[in-house]
A and B are shown apart, each in its own frame.
Chain A
Amino acid sequence: MNTSEQITVIKPREKGLHIDLKELWRFRDLIYLLARRTFVAMYKQTIIGPAWAIIQPLLTTGILTLVFGRFVGVPTDGAQPFLFYMCGSVPWSFFARCLEKTAQTFTDNEKLFGKVYFPRLCAPIATVLVTLINFAIQFAFFLLFLIGTNIFSAEKIQVSWGLVALTPLVLIEMGLLGLGVGIAVSALTVRYKDLALLVSFGVNLWMYISPVAYPASVLNSTYPALKTVFMLNPMSPVIEFFRAAYLGTGTFNAGYLLLSAGVTCVICFLGILLFNRVEKTFADVI
């Protein structure tokens, strides 16, 4: 008989971290198809389809510009306000959507998980990929605005190309951070339904402690001592990074970005740990 045949052993739930990367790799086609399924299902029978992806950040940016830029008069480190807010809100919404969507992993896939086996991590990874597509559309739009401004305005924007090259790495970091927090929440919501209600609320609060609607430099002048604590929020250096890379403004510091990457790794690790604990027996609980 075929001796190369794979042998699967099913054992009781164990403590500790189990992440079978080889198995995930074998199921890469599933990740692709799950992402495709979500994407297609999301825009089927809508009139303007993926164009919805653009409207949402445009409105958000418009409101932010109006309220914070015009009414409140928050400084933008000298950047053009609309670009400044868009540069913050587009990456932020990528992260926020990763978090919110992966936080629903178990509730959204209850039926599927209850009937067939596949590595459960496929589902949140696919979610992050779909969100990434949305982000790409939005970011392309941001770049259009950026190029447009550069052509039509007198002041030229100092794009720092060295940092721009790092964008993919930062995107991976954001994805992992959203995934880590999201799957941790999703694992906890299996037992504590209350948490599901807190997610969007929590994400909102998180946005206010991240430099989305204001630059981090605001803190420098008013509360310099708080700066380090503020930068412990892994999203702060990330958004500052985007502003520094594409608009040439802000207080970007490579050390803080590394710290943010470190925090992300820890959160992601904890997330997978919690996810592991739940995935094997969640069908009994939900």
Chain B
Amino acid sequence: MRDVVLSCENVSKQYRMGQIGLSTLRDDIDGLFARFTRKDARAGAEGQTPQNGKFYALRDVSFEVERGSAIALIGRNGAGKSTLLKLISRITAPTEGRITYKGRLASLLEVGTGFNPHLTGRENVYLNGAIMGLTRAEISARLGEIIEFSEIGGFIDTPVKRYSSGMFVKLGFAVAAHLEPDILICDEVLAVGDTRFQEKCIRKMSDLAGEHTVIYVSHNMHTLRQLCTRALYLEEGRLAYAGELEHAISLYAGASALRDTHIDFANVKHDGNLGKLARMEYLDINGVISCEYPMGGNISLSLGVHALEDVKNLRVNSLISRAGSGTLASSLSAPVYTAQAGDRTELELSLPLGGLGPGEYDAALWLCFTDPIGRMVSYDVVPNAFRFAVTQNLELNEGMLWNEKRHGVFRLPDTECGGKKRI
């Protein structure tokens, strides 16, 4: 059963453009007069001047977060990430919609908020804990762990104004992470500490994820890949995508979205002799709209091939790779394609994904022939034939979320136990 800990339903946040907060009593009184005296004139002017208009920092955002997941929140500056976090952390109220969450929520929108410079580290730990809704007894129980994690040691009784910025961040993170909130929200807070501590924090957060829920905002894709499995991608205040991290990253990176299900190879450039004897003309990806497959699924393809000469016993080789990495895996077909010059054939192919883990991949197609001494002779190659995504499959993985950082890219066939004997 799905255990949703946080849900947003049609959440919108509207801001007024122009100068807010700088108003004085006089402005408001003027405005009040204007409403009575120049009502129509004002209404007319408002439509034309966008400076006085309203804009939506977030518009109609809905999503659900399950317990134990680590969610990345991705988007360009101004996409609404901070606004969303502020709404969830109850710093400001939404204009429309509602947000519901279960349990305690701690947000680290900035490390060490609520730290008072004049108080000692210890006093600040208590204060910060209380801000997050803990009682003094609960904080005392965790104090030892916090001091140890923060590496502050003897400085815990020194006023925090004498701390270095690194110590400040360490203590701030240690407090938030050890208060065991049901939902922990972090906004790029780790950018300050040194690399070693950053990694320690990420380890801590991935330990938290599983039982607790972590929502992490960062522009650092490396960190996100280490920590998160799923992502929310915001674009101009709207939730553009919710799902696999890799896909969200590629959206963020501006890479082309998942392509059409019908792909024409007419424009593919062929080097040398490639494509002269036989040529792949088009590809249909069948039975899906989004090219997302659960882990262990099958990609069903129809490949249009045009034989320019007589060809015999050609095979289709699919090479799977990921942006920035070499080929990760290949799948070969049997020698299925034999044709006479001029024939046009559509091959029905089924590409099993096997143990390929969740993520987004590129597939290249090779039409080739294995000669008697085992060499592979290529007839035609389409380098980036299509892109697909593999999604979590709880059924296949016995209810476990596949975490690339922990489990790797590929799930090998299961280890078998051939027998037991008493020793």
User: Which of A's residues lie within 8 Å of B, judged by CB?
Assistant: 1-2, 5-13, 26-27, 29-30, 32-34, 36-37, 40-41, 44-45, 111-118, 190-195, 280-286
Contact = CB atoms under 8 A, between A and B. Distances in A.
Given A191-B21, A286-B21, A11 B98 contact: yes
Interface in B83-108: 86-105, 107
Nearest to A188: B25
Contact of A284 (B89, B92, B102, B119): B92
Given A30-B130, A40-B119, A192-B24, A281 B93 contact: yes
Nearest to A282: B92
Contact of A115 (B24, B93, B113, B116): B113
Contact of A116 (B67, B91, B94, B126): B91
Nearest to B128: A116
Given A113-B91, A192-B23, A29 B114 contact: no
Contacts of B127: 30, 33-34, 37
B103 A6 contact: yes
B136 interface: yes
Contacts of A194: 24-25
A7 B116 contact: no
B102 A40 contact: no
18 contacts: A6-B103, A7-B101, A8-B100, A9-B99, A26-B133, A29-B135, A30-B131, A32-B130, A44-B159, A112-B131, A116-B107, A116-B113, A191-B28, A192-B28, A280-B92, A284-B15, A284-B20, A286-B21
A7 B133 contact: no
Tell me the interface secondary structure of chain B in the complex: loop
A4 B23 CA distance: 45
Nearest to A284: B92
Interface of B: 3, 15, 20-21, 23-25, 28, 67, 86-105, 107, 109-110, 113-114, 116, 118-119, 123, 126-127, 130-136, 159, 182
A70 B91 CA distance: 55
Contacts of B28: 191-192
B339 to A, nearest CB: 59
Given A12-B96, A30-B131, 10 more contacts: A5-B103, A5-B182, A7-B102, A9-B100, A33-B126, A40-B118, A44-B159, A117-B90, A280-B92, A284-B20
A10 B15 contact: no
Contacts of A12: 93-98
For A9, A27, A32, A116, which residue has the most chain B Cβ atoms within 10 angstroms? Answer: A116
Given A8-B100, A10-B98, A117 B116 contact: no
Contacts of B67: 1
A85 B268 CA distance: 96
Nearest to A285: B21
A5 B102 contact: yes
Contacts of B100: 7-10
B93 A11 contact: yes
B182 A13 contact: no
A116 B114 contact: yes
